[in-house]
Amino acid sequence: MYSYDEALNIILNKAQPLPLEIHTVEDALDCILAADITANINVPPFANSAMDGYAFRALDIADASLANPIKLPIQQSIAAGAEHSPHALKGGTAAEIMTGAPTPAGADTVIPVERTQRDESFLIFTEPYPTGCNIRSAGEDMKIGQRIARAGHRITAALVPALCSLGRGTVPVTPRPKIVWLSTGQELVDDFSAPLGPSQIYNSSGPFGESMAAPLGADLLWRRTVADDGTGFQTALNEAMKGPADVIISTGAVSVGKYDFVRSELTKLGAEIFLHRAKVKPGKPILFARLSNGKYFFGLPGNPVSTAMGLRMFVSPFLRALSGQATEKPIKARLTNPIQASKRLTCFLKGRVECSDTGTLVVHCLQGQESFKVAPMVQMNCWIKHPEGLEVLAEGSLVDCIPFFPLNS
């Protein structure tokens, strides 16, 4: 068996970013930038007023005082969005100006209207006013050639104002990977209104996978439950292979028991299996393969927590790589209780990370770490990584925590 790091490297080394597409800004939300965004214009494109007020030269009123008031005649009025550029400001004059309107050549200061004294068509100053106030310089926000966002950045609403300010109606993106989800197990019941029969359980892994698709940056095309037989699995897999899915994920039937048919069925279909079993807990029987038509396949163990761990620690990094994103970095936090685990495996434990009263991150290892126990998942917000080779992590140890949901780039 491969160690966790070895297994993850095998998976990531097979990932190639999906071909870029050009999307409108609206359609690009939650996609990943496929190229850097650089400013093609200055923002603001021209110097403009940050206030409703009056533009003038500060030097013209440098000697103003109560004993020596200075009057500046108001030469013009400048509105935002006017069709024509304002006239250059003559020395010793002022211009009425609105917020966002271009400042006239020769002006270096704007005073807010509420701070002025006015006598008909004159401004009256009884003290100096600082140079450069309330003027937004051309390119003060974004300059031509400035990199605004890097390739691999997730496009969220926070990026939209910058793109629109630059006049970028479209952007190059790496599309969201498309996935199909197959749950295996004749004991699984998908109708939650139906009573359970002998040896039956409700299907939790299928709805969980569906709910996790969007947070993992993927689009789920469809999901299905198949019984513990190769025929039904092959039928569903063939259908998935004919469609636009980039990745097919199955749960269950991936170990070495009598009804664990996934590997043998993949072999019959000519799949190339890169990984089967890793030194991790839970989720040891993880399987990763490339199907005969080039699509990728993950086989996750069927226990709900094993499914969740495999999805987060193996599938999620692969989906990020397909999207052109960098590998996530774990969060560091201090353990509030000691952990003992097998030193032969990398263990991922249900945890809850919080900010302490002193402002530092602390993490608590929850009770109920068995892979069939889903109740603790209600409280967890992270996975605690217990590295291979260590048997005990003492209270106060600084540990790696992987957020339950990936953080946006």
Got the DSSP string for 240-290? HHHSS-SEEEEESS-SSSTT--HHHHHHHTT-EEEEE-BSEES-TT-EEEE
Domain boundary among 303, 322, 341: 322
185: alpha, beta or left, given left = phi > 0 and alpha = psi -120 to 50?
Answer: left
Find tokens 């295996």 and name the residue: 184
DSSP secondary structure letters along 193-246? TSPP-TT-EE--HHHHHHHHHTTTT-EEEEEEEE-SSHHHHHHHHHHHHHSS-S
Residues 36 and 160 in one domain: yes
Residues 274 and 204 in one domain: yes
Antiparallel, parallel or unpaired: β 272-276 and 287-290: antiparallel
Single pTM value for the model? 0.88
Query: Please, are residues 212 and 311 in contact by the beta-carbon 8 Å criterion?
Result: yes
Query: Please, are residues 296 and 318 in contact by the beta-carbon 8 Å criterion?
Result: yes
Residues 157 and 215 in one domain: no
* Maximal CA-CA distance, the chain: 102
In a domain, 145, yes or no: yes
pLDDT of residue 230: 85
In a domain, 65, yes or no: yes
Residues 32 and 118 in one domain: no
d(CA 243, CA 239): 7
Positions of the chain with pLDDT lower than 70, given as ranges: 408-409
Number of domains, the chain: 4
pLDDT of residue 409: 52
Residues 56 and 166 in one domain: no
Domain that holds residue 92: 48-136
Residues 214 and 347 in one domain: no
pLDDT of residue 1: 87
Residues 190 and 286 in one domain: yes
In a domain, 408, yes or no: no
